A and B are shown apart, each in its own frame.
Chain A
Amino acid sequence: MTTITASTTAPARARKLVGAGRRQWIGLIYVAPAVALVMVFFVIPLGMTAWMSLHNWPLMGEHAFVGLDNYGAILRDTRFWNALKFTGYYTVVVTIAIFAVAFPLAIFIEKPRPLTNLYRTFFFMPAVVGFASASLLWSWLLNVDSGLFSPAAYDLGLIDRKFNLLATFQPAFWSIIAMVVWKVAGFTMIILMTGLQSIPQDLQEAAVIDGAGPFARFRAITLPLMRRTLALALILSVAGSILAFDQFYIILRGGPRNQTLTAVYWIFNQSFVSFKLGYGAALSMVLLVILVALSLIQLWLLRKPEGLD
């Protein structure tokens, strides 16, 4: 069959088009495994979450349709609202703390100078360690008898008897903040650094010639030109914090007195400790709506500057 076609140009072109068309369809085969995985482990579970949220769904036995009852129960679930409130409080505090550390670090390592790369590597090391490892590590450092902080303070004579940092809310909460800042600041620093480096050097120099001080330059040049980077770092930090679980589970087990239960922790408890799967799904839907809303805000904040596409 291939031998005949070479004679005239028109059929040859037609054949080539068909061939090209066929080759294009092959693209579907290339993306099929990815699409299949996303279907099985994301789209179907997502649909099931919505479906299950309308049911009374125990782990064993039959499930029954209950309409919006689960959502009604959420409205009365003060412990969930407390968890949500705590998650919001934690998110605000930890995000401010991370930026307060990461921004100076980003400025510190922005320009290529001797040893800068080495410092950057050191600052970043906790960021590649997992949240679980970091939490286990700090649960030891924070331990009252075998840990570091309390015994060290005692040995230095700063406190007259050993103080359990994890026994009351305030010290426990701030210990977690310290741990998360230690773990995450390097990551945020790199993101902010990319933003700082994308600011044209001549703009800064022109401002210096115009007599602008460092503070004025920061406010008038650095901040506006970093809008998209700042927004990205902010969203990553906020989304990550709203979904916080590992550190509160591993270090505090939600305590003291269930005061540090986060939203994900509460959903985990309802779904996998109490096995109220339907109710857990309804709670998940609430969390999902919050996160999707946040993503939409992100898309808006990250929009390309007008006329610069």
Chain B
Amino acid sequence: MAQAISARGKLAARLARHSTGIIASVLFVAPIVWTALSAFKPAAEARLPPLPPWPTTGFSLENYATLNSFGDGLWVSAQNSIYVSVMTVLLSVIVSVLAGYGFSRFRFPFKDLFFVLILSTIMIPFQSILTPIFLVLTKLGLHNTLTGLVGVYVTLQLPFSIFMMRNAFDAVPREIEEAARMDGAGNATMLLKVMLPLVWPGVVTIALFAFLGAWNEFLAALVLMTDQSKFTLPVMMTALQSGRFGAIDWGAVQAGVTVMMVPCLILFLALQRFYIRGLMAGAVK
């Protein structure tokens, strides 16, 4: 009898837990799903309130097709965003792996000063130095170029990713290096063939953060990219949503937002444990 009551209590608790979980999950996921579904409506239907969210007058890719008709077209912005994000990932990985290795394994003049300098940039909001960055880029001939934007994005990633990589290299026992050195491994072989496979999870983590950072960044891109052919997706879509290309086409906004969200969600779902790892590493230290 008592057992039956406690079993029923357990069942009730489990039921309460899962209904809370499901309701909260729906609240968090609904806006994303709502947009993605509405984007498949024909343009005429997409203008109306999204009730219900799915297309009722037929499935259509019209909203995606019209995206290319605004300004230089969404495809140009998407290419810009892809270029900027991929370059940011590559460069920030290369620079941070080198620096992480250097800070972890060598003693050299000004080592502590440089490390503190790089980490302390996290305290300075880049929003407050955008104007001079604009002028520096102009001086370097990188004004209004995607390369200049990549340089800014890579620099923004450095404090987090160098910190991550230095810790990753610190965790590799020195004996491994000494053994490899005995076998005649040079500096390049050592880093690429011996060390890199051991710090690979850290590399994936910083690559993921670099991609999301560059893909989603808005203010620097808005300020530094003045030519429409250089707009990244967030800047392009904001121009569209502000009515810069005539009456606001909400169907196009839904489709464009979906294009912006999907790569982030796919990467997160595929690499979730690396993302959480990065967050925890940041939180614990």
Contacts and interface: CB of A to CB of B under 8 A. Distances in A.
- Do A and B belong to a common assembly? yes
Interface of A: 23-31, 33-35, 37-38, 40-46, 48-49, 52, 105, 108, 113, 115, 118-119, 121-126, 128-133, 136-141, 143, 145-148, 151-152, 155, 182, 185-187, 190-191, 194-195, 198, 229, 232, 239, 243, 245-246, 249-250, 253, 264, 267-268, 271-272, 277, 280-281, 284-285, 287-288, 291-292, 295
Interface string B250-285: 100110110011001101110010011001100110
Given A125-B268, A132-B260, A284-B131, A42 B155 contact: yes
B283 A232 contact: yes
B17 to A, nearest CB: 8
Interface string B131-165: 11101100010000000000110110010001000
Nearest to A195: B283
A1 to B, nearest CB: 18
Given A24-B106, A195-B283, A140 B253 contact: yes
Interface stretch (B54-62, B72-80, B115-123, B197-205): B115-123
B241 interface: yes
B124 A37 contact: no
Interface string B224-263: 0000000000100110011000000010011011001100
A108 B29 contact: no
A64 B30 CA distance: 54
B216 interface: yes
Given A27-B111, A122-B28, A146-B49, A40 B136 contact: yes
B265 A27 contact: no
B131 A136 contact: no
Contacts of A291: 123-125, 128
A243 B103 CA distance: 31
Given A27-B111, A28-B108, A182-B28, A130 B215 contact: yes
B131 A271 contact: yes
B250 A26 contact: no
Contacts, number: 268
Contacts of B241: 136, 139, 250
B127 interface: yes
A278 B176 CA distance: 54
B21 A280 contact: no
A126 B98 contact: no
Given A27-B107, A122-B29, 6 more contacts: A34-B96, A40-B155, A44-B132, A46-B132, A152-B49, A187-B279
A143 B49 CA distance: 9
A115 B158 CA distance: 36
B260 A130 contact: yes
A37 B131 CA distance: 17
B35 to A, nearest CB: 5
A31 B99 contact: yes
B189 interface: no
Taking each of A31, A38, A48, A190, which has the highest tally of chain B beta carbons within 10 Å of its own beta carbon?
A: A31
Contacts of A42: 121, 124, 126, 129, 155
